Structure 1
Amino acid sequence: MELDFIKLSPLGNTTVFLRGEAAQEVRAALLSEAMDYDHLAAEQAGFLVAPHSKKALFRIEMSGGEFCGNATLSAAALAAAEGASSPFFVECSGAEGPLRAEARPLGAGRWLARAEMPQTHGLKRLSLEGFSFGDAAICVSIPGITHLVVEAADLSASDYDALLARLMRETGADAYGVVPFERMGRDHFRIRPYVAVPSAKSCVFERACGSGSLALALAEGSECGRIAVEQPGGTLFVETGKQFFLEGEVLISCRGTVELGNVGL
């Protein structure tokens, strides 16, 4: 099956959007195949589909049906690159309604994108008994994804997997993230995010995570303000208050067609 694709890079969190006719029941397998090394070598992927709301330009359906902050930023950059006048609205799986977004060109295929994030969320403390780096972490649930936010540095791969296993035992979601953070200043943090999407059989140390950055702001109780969240691919900015916004750079790296459907569909 030949499908059109666009590959984008919001701070190195390589994201592939597929366009084309594909039945709902095979999309997850196609997206998983599109992400692999032999195809488009991406950290995450979603389908561009018709929006539910008339005021949105298009909708992103992620591989696990989860919400994705960086995919929403990528959708904003793509909409602007295809001629939309800012501001406009886009949709992402996991979010209940259309999200306000805008983007401006920075040159050489790069865009500075800003997008509204879902406000629905839940917070709860999760015991870290048996771990060596604190007594508790904060579980932050936003539509479609739950993150475990913990103040810790220099975790081992086994620490990440153990935290992820604890999170998955204690909560239910379409996707899960482990977000250890360090304080670099009053409104400046550093994270190394780890995200799992069970339905896509993916578990990735992401170079940047938008929903994880939002989860950190919510866990810290940043009710009204702007924080900088440094991560391996660069810095995302989170604004909280009456509405939540995410801001960061997005590179639109390439477009073309990809041959998929070699996974026994």
Structure 2
Amino acid sequence: MMQEIEFIKFNPTENMTVLVKTKHFMEEYEDIAAKIMAYSCLNAEQVGFIEEPQMTGTDSRLQMAGGEFCGNACMSLAAFIASGKMLSPDCSTTILMEVSGTDEIVRCNVKNVMGLYRCNMTVPKPTKIEKQTWVVEGEELLITMIYYQEAVHAVWETGELNPSLRRKAETLAQSINSSYEVNLVGVLLYDLETGELSPLIYVPDLNSMMWERGCGSGTGSLGAYLAWKQQACISQPVKQPGGEMHVKTEWNAGAITEVKIEGTVGIVAEGKAFIQMIEEEVVG
């Protein structure tokens, strides 16, 4: 059965994101997302579905295909809503969103900067941060684990990314997934010398493991990690393969009180995609 999908495609720090506008059954989300992400279709890194909000005062709801929280998808939705308001150049608006992966309302300030949308957004605070030792390919690795409501990120301080580190990071992601029942596992390789973040994101329900060129939730986790490590507020740029984002973390009385990320979103395409859906076998 061929299904018509209305979509918008975004470029948030080259973390190519597709949001689906048409309404579908939730049990179809994973299949739709897998087909849309394929090179033979829209070639995206993640897919979210725009839904009607359930809470009074919020502008929209975002449901990711794997049930995860995605910072760049949130900023993409905020940019789309702002564009619908015909936001004038250099003007700003605030968008409130309900999103999968967290019970918190996500607040995003969006500014029109010459047709691009500069987004400054709150992201969920970690529920816990701790160091753990993981054995990967016979090597003991000291990893900082950052826990969220339905996700876990692992920050690994490394040097320059190479094939061996990539392989170990992918093995680590699978090991973490075997130990925790979460919607998303992130392995965040952080080069102390260059300050560059290389994010690996694994969404088990979609069987999707991808080295992202820019990761919003990973940027937030790195900011949380640095504030926890330094026991202080931090505000700094985060270099990633697709460009630069910014993170600001507030630290007060021995705890993280707020995490904000900032990045630029471009709307690059809008239209219809046609995908072949799996037809259920009729037994009779």
Same fold (TM over 0.5): yes
Change over 3 Å in CA distance of 1:37–1:135 after alignment to 2? closer
User: Could you say which residue in structure 1 is the equivalent of 2:102?
Assistant: 95
Cα distance between partner residues in 2 of 1:144 and 1:129: 24
Structure of larger gyration radius: 2
User: Could you say which residue in structure 1 is the equivalent of 2:134?
Assistant: 128
Structure 1 residue 226, shift from structure 2 partner:
1.0
What are the superposed Cα offsets for residues 227-254 of structure 1, whole Å, 9 maximum, x if unpaired?
2111000111111113221100111101
Asked if 1:69 is matched to 2:76, the reply is no
User: Could you say which residue in structure 1 is the equivalent of 2:171?
Assistant: 162
Structure 1 residue 46, shift from structure 2 partner:
0.6
> Greater shift after overlay, 231-240 or 117-126?
117-126
Structure 1 residue 132, shift from structure 2 partner:
8.1
| Secondary structure of 1:66 counterpart | coil
Change over 3 Å in CA distance of 1:248–1:152 after alignment to 2? same
Structure 1 residue 117, shift from structure 2 partner:
0.6
Q: 1:216 aligns with which of 214, 218, 222?
A: 222
What are the superposed Cα offsets for residues 201-227 of structure 1, whole Å, 9 maximum, x if unpaired?
111110011111111122221642312
User: Could you say which residue in structure 2 is the equivalent of 1:257?
Assistant: 272
User: Could you say which residue in structure 1 is the equivalent of 2:253?
Assistant: none
Change over 3 Å in CA distance of 1:125–1:172 after alignment to 2? farther
Aligned-residue Cα RMSD (Å) equals 2.0
Structure 1 residue 131, shift from structure 2 partner:
5.9
Cα distance between partner residues in 2 of 1:130 and 1:163: 6
| Secondary structure of 1:12 counterpart | coil
* Percent of aligned pairs sharing the same letter: 27
Q: 1:236 aligns with which of 228, 241, 245?
A: 245
Asked if 1:176 is matched to 2:185, the reply is yes
Query: What is the one-letter code of the residue matched to 2:167?
Result: S
Q: 1:106 aligns with which of 113, 122, 142?
A: 113
Instruction: Note the residue ranges of structure 2 that are not aligned, 5 or more in a row.
Output: 251-256
Cα distance between partner residues in 1 of 2:44 and 2:279: 21
Cα distance between partner residues in 2 of 1:133 and 1:115: 38
Change over 3 Å in CA distance of 1:98–1:238 after alignment to 2? same
Query: What is the one-letter code of the residue matched to 1:172?
Result: E
Query: What is the one-letter code of the residue matched to 1:257?
Result: K
Instruction: Note the residue ranges of structure 1 that are not aligned, 5 or more in a row.
Output: none
User: Could you say which residue in structure 1 is the equivalent of 2:124?
Assistant: 118
| Secondary structure of 2:93 counterpart | coil
Q: 1:194 aligns with which of 191, 194, 200?
A: 200
Query: What is the one-letter code of the residue matched to 1:258?
Result: A
Cα distance between partner residues in 2 of 1:66 and 1:130: 25
| Secondary structure of 1:214 counterpart | helix
C-alpha contact (below 8 Å) 1:76/1:103 kept by paired residues: yes
C-alpha contact (below 8 Å) 2:117/2:265 kept by paired residues: yes
User: Could you say which residue in structure 1 is the equivalent of 2:32?
Assistant: 30
| Secondary structure of 2:192 counterpart | strand
